[in-house]
Structure 1
Amino acid sequence: MEPFVVHKGKVAGLDRANIDTDQIIPKQFLKRIERTGFGQFLFYDWRYLSDGTPNPHFELNRPENEGATILVANENFGCGSSREHAPWALADYGFRAIIAPSFADIFYNNCLKNSLLPIKLPKEDVAYLLKQAERADYELTISLEQQVVFDDEGFTSSFDIDPYRKQLLLKGWDEIDLTFVYEPYIIAYEKKRS
């Protein structure tokens, strides 16, 4: 996984609440077991019209949102089923962080396990960011080390994150990578037992 220390990126706003995992990645695209290739199906039913052409009214299809790496949405993001494909699709599309007032618990934890940073901010801060995201050039900086989100115009907001998950993200590790840190001890233990 890629470490997440500081990230500066373009912001896209999705001013909707209760975005569930079925909307993030529809069920018909869950036939793969790889973690890649899902970005093309992200928000598929919203991004495309019934004839398969891009929906010009969907927020992420607007030219000003091309290349966005930070998504801002409203409360209860990632509700619904517990599919891990949802964070895979968001990350594969290019997002490094999702900012919302609240997240579904399973989705939140799945993000952390897949190097996608879910950030909970107060509703008034999210409302401000959604308004700013209407501009084509709006960028935010996220410092995981400092646990702060800020822009170049004076906005700053801090966020909480579990210290264990924070360390894994900072190092770009998952639980398996963490196990490898203890490999010499495991080998020594195994040698004693054989």
Structure 2
Amino acid sequence: MQPFKHLQAHTVVLRERNIDTDQIIPARFLTTTERKGLGQHAFNDWRRLPDGTPNPEFPFNRAENAGAQILVAGRNFGCGSSREHAPWALTDLGLRAVVSSEIADIFRSNALKNGLLPIVLDDAVVDELLAQPGIELRIDIAARTLTLPDGRSFEFPLDAFAQTCLLEGVDQLGYLLNQRPAIERFEAARDAAEAA
């Protein structure tokens, strides 16, 4: 993962509520442990018409949303089964953050482990963002703030460990591996104390 400190990007909006992980990445695409390439299947059943051609009305297929890195979605995003493929698909699609008034706990955990920032804001703020697709937002991980184009800034919850991992660009295992020198010093001191 790359360190994630700031993001200034445009939004893409999905107003639907209760978007579950099977809508994010349908189960038939879970046959791989490779992250690359999953973005092409993100929201597959909404992005494609029954004949397999792209649905021109779906937000991710619209030219004005190309390059959008922030998804604003309806309440209860990421509900359903636990599948790490869901944040893999979203990050491969180019997203760095998901904003909603409610994000399912398991999805939130999987997202943070994979460098995708889940941001929960009050309903009124999210409703405002849902009504303004394509606006540019600024996210500051260290300050835990999301700032609108008019300068209003909103704090979002982010636990300290997840924040550290995002800022350093490591997952949980990477964080532990970075502590190896301190662990080795502790073990050496303990061994010396036991030998004395």
Which bracket does the TM-score occupy, shorter chain normalised?
over 0.9
Shift of 1:3: 1.2
1:29-84 per-residue CA deviation (whole Å, 9 max, x = no partner) reads: 10111222110000000000111110011122111111100000011100011011
Aligned to 2:159: 162
Aligned to 1:102: 102
Q: State the one-letter code of the partner of 1:123.
A: D
Q: Identity over aligned residues, as a percent?
A: 47
Aligned to 1:87: 87
Aligned to 1:63: 63
Shift of 1:187: 4.0
Distance 1:21 1:43 in 2: 9
Q: State the one-letter code of the partner of 2:61.
A: N
Q: Which moved more, 1:98-107 or 1:55-64?
A: 55-64
Distance 2:119 2:149 in 1: 19
Shift of 1:151: 2.4
Q: State the one-letter code of the partner of 2:175.
A: L
Q: Which runs of 5+ in 1 are unaligned?
A: none
Aligned to 1:174: 171
Q: What pairs with 1:109-188 in structure 2 (closer than 5 Å)?
A: 109-133=109-133, 135=134, 138-188=135-185
Shift of 1:179: 1.5
Q: Which runs of 5+ in 2 are unaligned?
A: none
> What's the TM-score, normalizing by structure 2?
0.92
Distance 1:156 1:25 in 2: 32
Q: State the one-letter code of the partner of 1:95.
A: L
Q: Which moved more, 1:182-191 or 1:85-94?
A: 182-191
Q: What pairs with 1:42-53 in structure 2 (closer than 5 Å)?
A: 42-53=42-53
RMSD: 1.6
Highest CA radius of gyration, 1 or 2? 2
Matched residue SS, 1:88? helix
Q: State the one-letter code of the partner of 1:128.
A: E
> What's the TM-score, normalizing by structure 1?
0.93
Q: How many residues align?
A: 190
Q: State the one-letter code of the partner of 1:76.
A: N
Q: State the one-letter code of the partner of 2:160.
A: P
Matched residue SS, 1:19? coil
Matched residue SS, 2:170? coil
